[in-house]
Amino acid sequence: MKTVLTTPVNSNQTTQTSQLIPASPTSVENPSTWMRDGYSPTEIILSVAILISLSIGGIASVIVAITGLVKSLVPVMVRPTKEETK
């Protein structure tokens, strides 16, 4: 005995699709507005990098100046005075 299973086909069946792209994309500001107003992400990153390099250079120059001062003062402070040699 053979049994055949059939599934009824609904002719009123519709296919639903999901929308992958939003209907109204979010507005992105014009890069010329960023440059004109001064808050461009690239501009901010570059200015921070420049400020950091300048501050590192300033700190390095202070360290060099203190080192030079110590090098010139220590021999004078260690050298015996004329009163101590008598």
Distance CA 41, CA 64 (A): 35
Overall pTM surpassing 0.85 (yes/no): no
Phi, psi of 16 (to 5 degrees): -100, 135
**Opening angle at CA 23, ends 32 and 41, nearest 5:** 25
pLDDT of the residue at 24:
61
Average pLDDT by stretches of 10, the chain with 86 residues:
59 62 62 70 88 96 95 85 63
pLDDT of the residue at 15:
63
User: How long, in residues, is the chain?
Assistant: 86
